[in-house]
Structure 1
Amino acid sequence: MADDGMLLNFEIPADAFTTPQTKFKGGRWKDRLTARKSAEYGRQKANERQPPPQESTQTSESHQHARPVKRARTGDTGAANTAFSNNGDFVSSLFTYNPTSKAPIESTPTEEVNIEPSNAPLADDETAKFTTLGLSPTLAGHLLKKLDIKAPTGIQRKAITQLCKDDTDAFIQAQTGSGKTLAYLLPIVERIATISRQMKDAGQDFNRHSGLFAIILAPTRELSKQISTVLDSLLSCYNWIVTGTVQGGEKKKSEKARLRKGLNILVATPGRLADHLNNTETLDVSMVRWLVLDEGDRLMELGFEQDLQKIISVLNLRSRKKHETTIPGLPERRTTVLCSATIKSDVEQLQSMSLKNPISLAVDASENTGQSAGEENNFSAPAQLKQSYAIVPAKQRLVTLSAVLKQTFKRKGSVMKCIVFISCADSVDFHFEILTRGGKKDRAEGDSEKTDAHSMDRKPGKPPPKKPGSIPQGNTISETRTQGRAAFFSKDNPVQVFRLHGSLQQATRTSTLKAYTKCEEPAILVCTDVASRGLDLPNVDLVIEYDPPFSKDDHLHRIGRTARAGRDGRAMIFLQPGCEEGYVEVLKEARPRNLTRHDADELLKKGFGNSKGPEESDNSWEVRATDWQLGVERWAIDNPKHLDQAKRAYQSHVRAYATHVAAERHIFDMQELHLGHLAKAFALRDKPGSIHVAGLRPGKDSGNKSKQVRGQKRSAGRTEKDEDVAAETDATEARRKMQAMSRAMGGASEFNLG
């Protein structure tokens, strides 16, 4: 046959004889077609990363000008970027498609500068002794010999001198950890002890029936309990002065019996005291001469304004009652003391409501922070506190927290106590279970039971057998396990983990704080802001703000749990790349002497790096970090209870994220929050739109099941970029639903109250 000049191109794919073709069976034909196209798209992308084959010299000019092969992305190799799990489901990688930081990296000084503590006791000289401030030798000697308090702090020197001398109202403002509790307790104890001596000299007996002379109000039950403990330690040298507490969470009947027996000093929460003023006739407040409002800003934030107005009005009205017997040394008027670490509009409102011609007691700014005396200093932290912030993408939040804790407690005895602040109660429960996963109740009691580290390798669909009478997850009010051993530490270096939030029963909260305080092993407290105000927890070396605070004042109180009374301390806050980096400017408002930056890769290398030597590959830390993350995800999938808990924590976190104060909402912008990446930080592999918790949204618990099935089949062959694009599309709808839920629940609700 003659050549007619036609050229037939029988070109076939280069991988036609090398790559096995996947056969898709079952299901609808549309689903099979979609899966096949997705698989072909994945092979095409894989071929583009291969180097181009050597072209023949007979290639036409049109082939010579073909589109160049796409450059291979760096960091796509290695086990750390595995995109599929054992059963073929898509698993998003930790180290790809993460947003990068927009802020330039600032150089930090390498040399450590010795900084004088700003809240330490004063030098031990004649002018800094308790006896020179107006305290009796008995009380001053008790402080030195029994409580090992040798010298007062700056605010204590000013407050004790003023309150022991005059009967004027006072406003005490000082840094956290500077000893405000002793600043108002010592003058009250001294004045009441003086009254008791004068009564004995006049031939009168002083006992619990002599009258109620002082009331101290605190915003939280934990703080009121702590104040009562400090007060009891002071009164061990005056055992005839009787104290007591009334607070929410306890039986009113027992409290009424306590009030009926008689008290000289009462520590209370505002709500319960207002209730007793209404319903307890034996509560006589006509001789109250000292009223203390501790943590005034928190009292107003928690909505105690009406209760405080009622208490103050009742005290004003009943103080006019005439008594048949006169008490020598009892002042004519009542002294009201307001304490707060910050000055805000609501604190000024409380000040105008409760104080009359007050004297302001505060340590000069030049003494504490180096500022000029006339410069405003409403937001400051102890000067010796070393602060840092970590820029961590949403995907890597959970694994980075684990890396930081591993590095912190790596050397036994280097760090004793650590507090991790989280935004909401559901998230606290989830992270507590993550840190102690595989543990049992008897392990929390000190048994040497081996941690069930292999539980992560259990096959999906085979959850462990349930114990009879076990409490379902999510019912945090009834659950009582608040202590466990950290799963990622050995027996030679045990670390205890505690959890605390406002949804626990009061007895559980009290016992948890007591156990954490007295724990002799290194310990981690995972908690909400319920533990951020006023609590003096000993030996706290590190504070981690895993979830950013809802206001800068909350940040001040959180980090104030460390670096107390002149001791050293560290604080770290987690921020996501993007708009959240704007919070660094808020941190700088306090003019910290030490503020350093960390990146996620830096922290992960330290936590998951090779400690035995440099013989491993450079990306070995990525492999270990990914294995840890996949193990957590398998742990959640293996047990429906854990999976439900992760979903609850995720949804509660998103709702809490929308409750930041208006002035900082541009920093914590819901529109910039990547819900798909955030779900991975809660060990979830579902798309944001598919994350539902039964019972949380009545009538919309599970959605259309057929759509969920089709969505799972469509995702079977996706590449990671396709998954992230789909997750972002789902995030828009999920974000709109979350915002509507937050508005329906009244904004803040319980998520920022703990």
Structure 2
Amino acid sequence: MADDGMLLNFAFSDNVIKPEAKFKGGTWRARLSAKKRSQHQPTGDENASQRNADSKNPNKIQVPANRPPRRHPGQFASSLFTSNPESKTAEEPKPEEAVEEAKPSNAALVDGIDTFTSLGLSANLAAHLLTKLELKAPTAIQKASIEQLLKEETDAFIQAETGSGKTLAYLLPLVERIMALSKAAQQQGVHPDRQGVHRDSGLFAIILAPTRELCKQISVVLENLLRCANWLVCGTVIGGEKKKSEKARLRKGLNILVATPGRLADHLDNTRVLDVSNVRWLVLDEGDRLMDLGFEEELQGIVKKLDERQRTSGIPGVPTRRTTVLCSATLKMNVQRLGEISLKDAIHIKADPADEDENSRGKDEEEGFRVPAQLKQSYAIVPAKLRLVSLTAYLKRTFIRKGSVMKAIVFVSCADSVDFLFEVFSRKYGVRASKSKDNDEDDSENKEEEKKEREKLSPHGTIAPAEAFSTSTNPVTIHRLHGSLPQHVRTATLGSFSKSSEASVMVCTDVASRGLDLPNVDLVIEYDPAFSSDDHTHRIGRTARLGRDGRACIFLQPGCEENYVEILKRGYRDGGKALTRTDANEILKRGFGATAESTSKNWEEKTTDWQMDVERWALDNPEYLEMARRGFQSHVRAYATHIAAERSMFDIKELHLGHLAKSFALRDRPGKINVPGLRQGKEDTKKDFKAARNNAAGSKRKADDMPSTNTDEAARKMRAKMREQHAGASEFNLA
């Protein structure tokens, strides 16, 4: 063949074809991971020389040169800062001019014109508010409701933003009415030797609330009010307590009863001593939550029984008709349905716009409630892998200085997550399970001492020192609260958190999100976003109450969750200009970069050290490893329960389960999770198919060989196991 004159002149650099790098040391999984990472990284002379240097050390696993090395005894390889999704929205530029501090929108009126006496309350009750309860002036909603409810005997719907004093807005006119009734009866000589109305006179008012904690709080406020009229008696009937003691309480006599709907309906059906013939006031507090928790049927039954059993009272001055007051922050459809069930010709009571600051007035009447104007809210874009370390860093920074924050509440979606976070934050850093027998004995002694210390602090195991973010100058106590705890434990834990005068954190579910007035709560963190925007507003309403300042922060993952920011902005009067943004790296720099650890480590290495320590702790303790797995599974199931209108922002198909497992100190995600809409991977499908086939074959062989009695026993055990598995749904027990 003739030469055509073409010359092949291609230059090959030395680094195009290279021998495959050999990885030594560590486990085969670690070597495989290092190999995969190296294949996707740009190579060069610097990287090559670094790899050659590392390959001479048999105890090292090679990592890309452009990432900080994360090597620990035991050859754990961390991937906290790799493969994290980027935020899809750009950070909005902050205004150059200083933002004017907003006036509190739920504070007491301070102009001096309106006092409790001028609103129609008796001098005795007004003086008691001033001297004993230190309340000098009413809030805007209290002014509107007290005037209206004392002027007319009509049904009413009270609507006001969270933290504005709705409890006193209906309690004060109620107590004033019953005190006036007592005075009139005494003047007419019904009981000339004592007050006209006393505990034997019967039940005059019932207050219904959705949760036991809220009932307890209303009862405490009511007891404080009734100290100026000690002949009147109030009490509670709520779920979780012994019915025998509640019946004894009802038998002694009550004038005002605070109850949950389910327990009251039970007593109306089964307790003869509960006489409701004189009930003339019915209050339904947190009406939207009553309906959300499925109490519609009980409420219908209660209203019907009260109507049927109402009789003419023998006490002079008792009204002929019953007054019903419905309290809610919103005008949602379920609240309107509740109004149709319980209210007749009701008046709508809201704060007078003239009593509100011009900037705090809402534009849309149908939006219902708004965020308190003085609340400073932020959101953090945190990838799933970095959720646990970011929460730790945020709390570290929060409590780094004594007195900066007194109390903080961390909201999560389910009870199992609460228990997991409580154990993680109360564990001691760097403590691992021992391997030798001698160390086992020392370790068991240390555990016993730690157990005794915890029992002194809390016999129920719901309170412990927060080792993860305490400092020598500012020790922090951590509490846990959820609906799966016994009622007496919930009451004791909540009481301890409320009365604590030291820095404290409470990790809880939505059981503590409604109506509770917890003193000195400066910060609310939504680690898991609420199941609806209404629940979100009630959560952050635990701070910035009655004119006090407060902060709130919500964790959102990059991607579809970022669209939730538009919903956050709706609650602001300025369109969300005061809403600030941060990201995980900024949180980690502030939290782990400001600790008193070795200055030679940067914040990434400190973060990784802490994460790896938690993962080792979980692996070394089967009890906590199982707790982490349950927390992960419950969290994924809870994630699928967001309301339909917001489900596109919390799409379970977009949830990266492998990354999420990292936030539960798990190195691999647990197995199959039965969640509607969650697709299984190919590997999971194959595993399930093979397992089902093997189980079927094994069952057939056992059936041929096993006597009938053994088969029945095996079936019984299987049914018991299935019931145990299905009982996992109890993490959503909020009431």
TM-score normalized by structure 2?
A: 0.81
Give 1:108 deviation, angstroms.
Answer: 2.2
Report the equivalent of 2:187.
Answer: 201
Unaligned stretches of 5+ residues in structure 1: 1-8, 26-31, 55-71, 439-452, 472-477, 693-700, 709-740
- Asked if residue 188 in structure 1 is aligned to residue 188 in structure 2, the reply is no
Q: Following the alignment from structure 1 to structure 2, what is the Cα–Cα distance between the partners of residues 664 and 380?
A: 19
Q: Following the alignment from structure 1 to structure 2, what is the Cα–Cα distance between the partners of residues 171 and 24?
A: 68
Map of 1:371-450 to 2, 5 A cutoff?
A: 371=361, 375-438=365-428
Q: Following the alignment from structure 1 to structure 2, what is the Cα–Cα distance between the partners of residues 347 and 116?
A: 30
Q: Following the alignment from structure 1 to structure 2, what is the Cα–Cα distance between the partners of residues 683 and 564?
A: 36
Q: Following the alignment from structure 1 to structure 2, what is the Cα–Cα distance between the partners of residues 568 and 36?
A: 52
Q: Following the alignment from structure 1 to structure 2, what is the Cα–Cα distance between the partners of residues 85 and 293?
A: 58
Report the equivalent of 1:481.
Answer: 461
1:125-145 CA-to-partner distances (Å, cap 9, x unmatched) read: 22x100111100000000001
- Asked if residue 521 in structure 1 is aligned to residue 498 in structure 2, the reply is no
Instruction: Report if the CA contact (8 A) 1:365-1:377 is conserved.
Output: no
Change (3 A) 1:645 1:332: same
In structure 2, the residue corresponding to 1:231 is in which secondary structure? helix
Instruction: Report if the CA contact (8 A) 2:158-2:327 is conserved.
Output: yes
Which residue among 256, 273, 280 is the counterpart of 2:271?
280
1:18-42 CA-to-partner distances (Å, cap 9, x unmatched) read: 98775999xxxxxx9x999888666
Report the equivalent of 2:94.
Answer: 108
Map of 1:249-328 to 2, 5 A cutoff?
A: 249-319=240-310, 321-323=311-313, 326-328=314-316
Q: Following the alignment from structure 1 to structure 2, what is the Cα–Cα distance between the partners of residues 374 and 582?
A: 22
1:289-347 CA-to-partner distances (Å, cap 9, x unmatched) read: 1000000001001111111001100111111x245xx3122111110000001111100
Q: Following the alignment from structure 1 to structure 2, what is the Cα–Cα distance between the partners of residues 157 and 305?
A: 30
Change (3 A) 1:411 1:280: same
In structure 2, the residue corresponding to 1:525 is in which secondary structure? strand
Unaligned stretches of 5+ residues in structure 2: 1-11, 50-61, 192-196, 452-457, 675-683, 692-721
Instruction: Report if the CA contact (8 A) 1:456-1:632 is conserved.
Output: no
Report the equivalent of 2:584.
Answer: 600
- Asked if residue 330 in structure 1 is aligned to residue 336 in structure 2, the reply is no
Instruction: Report if the CA contact (8 A) 2:523-2:543 is conserved.
Output: yes
Instruction: Report if the CA contact (8 A) 1:675-1:688 is conserved.
Output: no
In structure 2, the residue corresponding to 1:171 is in which secondary structure? strand
Q: Which moved more, 1:237-246 or 1:111-120?
A: 111-120
Report the equivalent of 1:348.
Answer: 336
Give 1:78 deviation, angstroms.
Answer: 1.8
Q: Following the alignment from structure 1 to structure 2, what is the Cα–Cα distance between the partners of residues 38 and 415?
A: 42
Change (3 A) 1:562 1:75: farther
Q: Following the alignment from structure 1 to structure 2, what is the Cα–Cα distance between the partners of residues 23 and 404?
A: 36
Instruction: Report if the CA contact (8 A) 1:247-1:272 is conserved.
Output: yes
Give 1:490 deviation, angstroms.
Answer: 2.8
Q: Following the alignment from structure 1 to structure 2, what is the Cα–Cα distance between the partners of residues 73 and 19?
A: 12
Instruction: Report if the CA contact (8 A) 1:156-1:182 is conserved.
Output: yes
Change (3 A) 1:49 1:507: farther
Q: Following the alignment from structure 2 to structure 1, what is the Cα–Cα distance between the partners of residues 658 and 32?
A: 24
User: Aligned AA for 2:367?
Assistant: N
Report the equivalent of 2:108.
Answer: 121
Change (3 A) 1:37 1:626: closer
- Asked if residue 564 in structure 1 is aligned to residue 545 in structure 2, the reply is yes
Q: Following the alignment from structure 1 to structure 2, what is the Cα–Cα distance between the partners of residues 148 and 209?
A: 31
In structure 2, the residue corresponding to 1:376 is in which secondary structure? helix
Report the equivalent of 1:137.
Answer: 123
Q: Following the alignment from structure 1 to structure 2, what is the Cα–Cα distance between the partners of residues 255 and 553?
A: 33
Instruction: Report if the CA contact (8 A) 1:155-1:363 is conserved.
Output: yes
Q: Following the alignment from structure 1 to structure 2, what is the Cα–Cα distance between the partners of residues 515 and 580?
A: 35
Change (3 A) 1:114 1:41: closer
In structure 1, the residue corresponding to 2:282 is in which secondary structure? strand
Instruction: Report if the CA contact (8 A) 2:400-2:471 is conserved.
Output: no
Instruction: Report if the CA contact (8 A) 1:170-1:361 is conserved.
Output: yes
Computed over aligned residues only, the root mean square deviation of the Cα atoms, in angstroms, reads 3.7
1:63-82 CA-to-partner distances (Å, cap 9, x unmatched) read: xxxxxxxxx99983323xx2
Change (3 A) 1:752 1:660: farther
Map of 1:23-34 to 2, 5 A cutoff?
A: none
- Asked if residue 95 in structure 1 is aligned to residue 81 in structure 2, the reply is yes
Q: Following the alignment from structure 1 to structure 2, what is the Cα–Cα distance between the partners of residues 74 and 661?
A: 43
Give 1:53 deviation, angstroms.
Answer: 8.8
In structure 2, the residue corresponding to 1:598 is in which secondary structure? strand
- Asked if residue 48 in structure 1 is aligned to residue 33 in structure 2, the reply is no
Report the equivalent of 2:640.
Answer: 658
Q: Following the alignment from structure 2 to structure 1, what is the Cα–Cα distance between the partners of residues 48 and 560?
A: 45
Instruction: Report if the CA contact (8 A) 1:173-1:341 is conserved.
Output: yes
1:158-213 CA-to-partner distances (Å, cap 9, x unmatched) read: 10011112100000000111000000000011010011111111112332111111
Report the equivalent of 2:158.
Answer: 172
Change (3 A) 1:349 1:267: same
In structure 2, the residue corresponding to 1:133 is in which secondary structure? coil
Q: Following the alignment from structure 1 to structure 2, what is the Cα–Cα distance between the partners of residues 36 and 380?
A: 54
User: Aligned AA for 1:686?
Assistant: D
Report the equivalent of 1:732.
Answer: none
More relative contact order, 1 or 2 (CA 8 Å, 6+ apart): 1
Q: Following the alignment from structure 1 to structure 2, what is the Cα–Cα distance between the partners of residues 43 and 507?
A: 56
Give 1:370 deviation, angstroms.
Answer: 3.8
Map of 1:454-469 to 2, 5 A cutoff?
A: 454-456=430-432, 458=434, 465=444
Instruction: Report if the CA contact (8 A) 1:219-1:298 is conserved.
Output: yes
Q: Which moved more, 1:44-53 or 1:247-256?
A: 44-53
Instruction: Report if the CA contact (8 A) 2:105-2:360 is conserved.
Output: no
Give 1:87 deviation, angstroms.
Answer: 2.8
- Asked if residue 627 in structure 1 is aligned to residue 613 in structure 2, the reply is no
Q: Following the alignment from structure 1 to structure 2, what is the Cα–Cα distance between the partners of residues 402 and 43?
A: 31
Which residue among 145, 150, 153 is the counterpart of 1:159?
145
Q: Following the alignment from structure 1 to structure 2, what is the Cα–Cα distance between the partners of residues 647 and 382?
A: 38
Give 1:237 deviation, angstroms.
Answer: 0.7
Instruction: Report if the CA contact (8 A) 1:392-1:577 is conserved.
Output: yes
User: Aligned AA for 1:313?
Assistant: K
Give 1:224 deviation, angstroms.
Answer: 0.3
In structure 2, the residue corresponding to 1:48 is in which secondary structure? coil
Q: Following the alignment from structure 2 to structure 1, what is the Cα–Cα distance between the partners of residues 473 and 188?
A: 64
1:492-535 CA-to-partner distances (Å, cap 9, x unmatched) read: 31101000000000000000010001111100000000000000
Instruction: Name the % identity.
Output: 58
Q: Following the alignment from structure 1 to structure 2, what is the Cα–Cα distance between the partners of residues 603 and 389?
A: 11
Q: Following the alignment from structure 1 to structure 2, what is the Cα–Cα distance between the partners of residues 620 and 249?
A: 50
Q: Following the alignment from structure 2 to structure 1, what is the Cα–Cα distance between the partners of residues 673 and 645?
A: 30
